[in-house]
Amino acid sequence: MPSYEINRLNEAAAAEARARWDAVAKPLHSLGRLEDMIAQIAGIRGTANVVLAPRCALVFCADHGVVAEGVTQTGQEVTALVARSIAAGSANVNLMARTARADVFAVDMGMAEEAGHPAVIRRRIAPGTRNMALGPAMTPAQAEQALQAGIDLVGAMSARGYRLIATGEMGIGNTTASAALCCALLGMTPDEAVGRGAGLSDDGLLRKRGAVRRALEANRPDPADLTGVLAGLGGFEIAAMAGAFLGGMAYRVPVVIDGVISAAAALIAARMCPEARGFMLASHMSREPAAARIMAELRLAPVIHADMALGEGTGAVALMPLLDAALSVYGGTHTFDGLGMAAYVPQGGAK
């Protein structure tokens, strides 16, 4: 099993942060979930003096054998192409991350082709998973290796001073794997969990649902055996992201969930260790059908509802400027005391 430390939120620091919010000259809780996130980050870091920089995105890249079932509109070669562009700084997530003042790292967890760029962080386990429609996508040992890689990478980034980490992924076929995981863990049917991913046709959608159905029949996942579920139906990048969420708890670093694939990884981490949920931030509500079910299970409320489904960590990075804006109010001087007026107090129905 992977090795990590179990931590819990510092409730005293979170309470101090909420009290600081209440001193700001504005209606109570009027910045809503953004206030909650800043207080949560205070609890994660153990101090009400919240700092959100430097920050980074870890984009975990891997390939999936299930593409042999015709579940995607592009081939596996695209994974390495995009990973290379991320490492070179020219991909979609890099462009958005510059606005958010975040560094971006591409991590090869097991692509069919090597990206061939020196900036890629190499944690390669195998050249892609096996076809889950025929049997387990990986061995339990490989699943645990990928989990540990994610934990350790968050530890390494924390040691480098990063105070906020976004998760991202790149892997042709990985919405098929995440849908299968949601069926296994949430009791969803393939018709409920499977979406169009990167824009499948009606025929492609039917093939994708069929592949998930065959994967569930071939692997017969037991929700109580999380490593087995992950090995049977997951991907190297999904396992590594699950490890990253466990690493956020272990190293007291807030880790941001991106879209449905990242959210499926967060669900696995929370099932493995419920305390890890307190160290997760939900960025956006993906348009993939399983996303809302996962967020309900995690009891998390994304703040961005923009019908996004790009991946790469773009939704997670998009949260960062919103947190910056909230932090400018949180740390500002526009207080009730400064204005010389009485503070607002909770009244009936107020949060």
Task: Note whether 153 and 247 are same-domain residues.
Answer: yes
Q: Which tokens is 179 given? A: 């849908």
Q: Could you read off the pLDDT of 30-64 as tens digits, one per residue?
A: 999 999 999 999 999 999 999 999 999 999 999 99
**pLDDT over 90, % of the chain:** 87
Q: How far apart are CA 25 and CA 9, in angstroms?
A: 27
**pLDDT over 70, % of the chain:** 98
Task: Note whether 20 and 77 are same-domain residues.
Answer: no
Task: Note whether 161 and 266 are same-domain residues.
Answer: yes
Task: Note whether 152 and 182 are same-domain residues.
Answer: yes
Per-residue buried b or exposed e for 229-241, using 16+ beta carbons within 10 Å of the residue's own CB? bbbbbbbbbbbbb
Contacts of 149 (CB under 8 A, 6+ apart): 107, 109, 123, 125, 240, 243
Does a structural domain hold residue 345? no
Does a structural domain hold residue 289? yes
Does a structural domain hold residue 1? no
Q: Which domain holds residue 29?
A: 11-49+329-339
CATH number for the domain harbouring residue 178: 3.40.50.10210
Does a structural domain hold residue 205? yes
Q: Could you read off the pLDDT of 333-343 as tens digits, one per residue?
A: 888 888 888 88
Task: With CA atoms as reference, report the closest residue to 261 among 235, 243, 280.
Answer: 235
Q: Which tokens is 19 given? A: 């009290």
Task: Note whether 255 and 153 are same-domain residues.
Answer: yes
Q: Could you read off the pLDDT of 296-328 as tens digits, one per residue?
A: 999 999 999 999 999 999 999 999 999 999 999
Find the catalytic residue in 144, 169, 288, 312: 312
pLDDT at 351 over 70: no
Q: How far apart are CA 106 and CA 268, in angstroms?
A: 22
Query: Tell me, what's the pLDDT at 348?
Result: 64
Does a structural domain hold residue 84? yes
Task: Note whether 26 and 106 are same-domain residues.
Answer: no
Q: Could you read off the pLDDT of 179-230 as tens digits, one per residue?
A: 999 999 999 999 999 877 767 777 878 889 999 999 999 999 999 999 999 9
Per-residue buried b or exposed e for 138-160, using 16+ beta carbons within 10 Å of the residue's own CB? beeebbbbbbbbbbbbbbebbee
Task: Note whether 32 and 168 are same-domain residues.
Answer: no
Number of domains composing the chain: 2
The mean pLDDT value of the chain amounts to: 95
Residues 3-24: what's their mean pLDDT? 97
Task: Note whether 16 and 120 are same-domain residues.
Answer: no
312 is known as an active-site residue: yes
Task: Note whether 123 and 266 are same-domain residues.
Answer: yes
Task: Note whether 37 and 174 are same-domain residues.
Answer: no
C-alpha to C-alpha distances, 220 to 37, 136, 143, 192, 342, nearest whole angstrom: 38, 10, 17, 18, 62
Query: Tell me, what's the pLDDT at 198?
Result: 65
Residues 256-264: what's their mean pLDDT? 97
**DSSP E strand stretches across 28-163:** 55-62, 103-110, 121-122
Query: Tell me, what's the pLDDT at 206?
Result: 87
Does a structural domain hold residue 2? no
Point out the least confidently predicted range of 38-42, 124-128, 345-349. Answer: 345-349
Task: Note whether 120 and 44 are same-domain residues.
Answer: no
